[in-house]
């Protein structure tokens, strides 16, 4: 993922801060993608130690293997706790060994305890001159206002889906189109979707549904799977994605089993199904009504 982030606007923008000597002592880096956040912070640590990010020098190799004495990552377990804060405080006054600066990366800070945040507060406010905090979070809701006010906020931007697709292709990996859509440009999320067998299975199910559902008998067969509680909302989203793609194909002049009017009506039925799902309506009834409605609209609007 590091090679992918190297091409991102977010990385280029942060590098400008480095190049023009505008770095703050503490950053709160945010995006809804925790893997992207983590790797972005590691990449910045690489850049601060190696201008070329060569990945072969001593500093790069040690950072990539999480053994650099001046680049310390937290939490040590699942969430940032008081003991992590105490470890940072102890390390603050230890001079760097291989670098000119000491970098503290704190991942998933939104999962930290209030006590740990308070314990770290003074260190973030008044760190030694050679220290930089790279703190990342998927949201700011659980982060204390006092922490937020003492850090520079840096919001990561999603990547272009075409860039993501090209990256996968260049690395010899097949990328599911729905993984790109659901990932919404966030590389970590896209990779997770693409590797999730349950997600891929649901993609194949929706594809087969649109190809093979031709009668009310078929509706009953597909509905028995569609209505299963596990993955129900995901299947609704994938169905919506499929018709969004159909609509785009129609707009570009491609032939389709559905008309533009039919797709518009189907979107309404999918939105209704989503509302009924949120209202805890019977899943069998939602599925039967939705799929029968799609079949009906398909032939009425021919």
pTM of the model: 0.89
Q: Choose among 151, 106, 101: nearest CA to 131.
A: 101
Cβ burial, residue 272 (10 Å; 0-12/13-18/19+) = middle
Q: What is the residue-wise DSSP string for the chain?
A: -HHHHHTSHHHHHHHHHHHTT---SEEEEE-S-HHHHHHHHHHHHHHHH-TT--S-SHHHHHHHTT--TTEEEE-SSSS--HHHHHHHHHHHTSPPSSSSSEEEEE--GGGS-HHHHHHHHHHHHS--TTEEEEEEES-STTS-HHHHHTSEEEEPPPPPHHHHHHHHHHTT----HHHHHHHTT-HHHHHHHHH-HHHHHHHHHHHHHHHH--SHHHHHHHHHHHT-STTHHHHHHHHHHHHHHHHHHHHTT---SS-HHHHHHHHHHHHHHHHHHHTT--HHHHHHHHHHHHHHHHHHT-
CATH topology classification for 2-157 = Rossmann fold (3.40.50)
List the domain boundaries for the chain.
Answer: 2-157, 163-195, 197-300
Per-residue pLDDT of the chain (302 residues; tens, 9 = 90+): 999 999 999 999 999 999 999 999 999 999 999 999 999 999 999 999 999 999 999 999 999 999 999 999 999 998 999 999 999 999 998 999 999 999 999 999 999 999 999 999 999 999 998 999 999 999 999 999 999 999 999 999 999 999 999 998 888 888 999 999 999 999 999 999 999 999 999 999 999 999 999 998 999 899 999 999 999 999 999 999 999 999 999 998 888 888 999 999 999 999 999 999 999 999 999 999 999 999 999 888 76
Q: How far apart are CA 123 and CA 147, in angstroms?
A: 10
Q: Which one, of 68, 74, 107, lies nearest residue 88 by Cα?
A: 74
What's the pLDDT at 253? Answer: 87
pLDDT value at residue 302? 67
Cα–Cα dist 105/75, whole Å: 9
Cα separation, 75 vs 174, whole angstroms = 33
């Amino acid at each position: 993922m590091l090679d992918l982030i190297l091409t991102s606007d977010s990385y280029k923008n942060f590098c400008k801060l480095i190049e023009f000597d505008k770095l703050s002592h503490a950053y709160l880096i945010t995006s809804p993608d925790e893997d992207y956040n983590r790797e972005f912070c590691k990449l910045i640590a690489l850049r601060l130690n190696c201008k070329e990010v060569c990945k072969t020098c001593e500093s790069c190799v040690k950072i990539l293997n999480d053994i650099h004495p001046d680049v310390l990552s937290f939490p040590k377990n699942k969430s940032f706790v008081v003991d992590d804060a105490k470890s940072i405080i102890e390390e603050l006054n230890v001079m760097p060994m291989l670098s000119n600066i000491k970098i503290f990366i704190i991942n998933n800070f939104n999962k930290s305890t209030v006590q740990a945040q308070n314990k770290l507060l003074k260190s973030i406010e008044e760190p030694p001159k050679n220290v930089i905090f790279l703190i990342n979070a998927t949201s700011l809701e659980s982060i204390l206002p006092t922490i937020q006010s003492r850090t520079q906020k840096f919001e990561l931007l999603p990547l272009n889906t075409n860039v993501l697709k090209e990256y996968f292709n260049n690395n010899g990996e097949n990328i599911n189109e729905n993984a790109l859509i659901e990932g919404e440009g966030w590389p970590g999320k896209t990779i997770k979707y693409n590797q999730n067998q349950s997600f891929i299975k649901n993609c194949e199910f929706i594809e087969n549904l649109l190809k093979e559902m031709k009668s009310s008998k078929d509706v009953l067969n597909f509905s028995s799977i569609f209505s299963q509680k596990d993955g129900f909302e995901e299947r609704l989203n994938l169905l919506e994605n499929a018709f969004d793609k159909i609509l785009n194909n129609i707009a570009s002049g491609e032939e389709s089993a559905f008309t533009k009017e039919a797709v518009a009506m189907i979107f309404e039925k999918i939105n209704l199904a989503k509302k009924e799902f949120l209202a805890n309506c019977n899943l069998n009834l939602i599925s039967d009504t939705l799929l029968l409605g799609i079949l009906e609209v398909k032939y009425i609007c021919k």
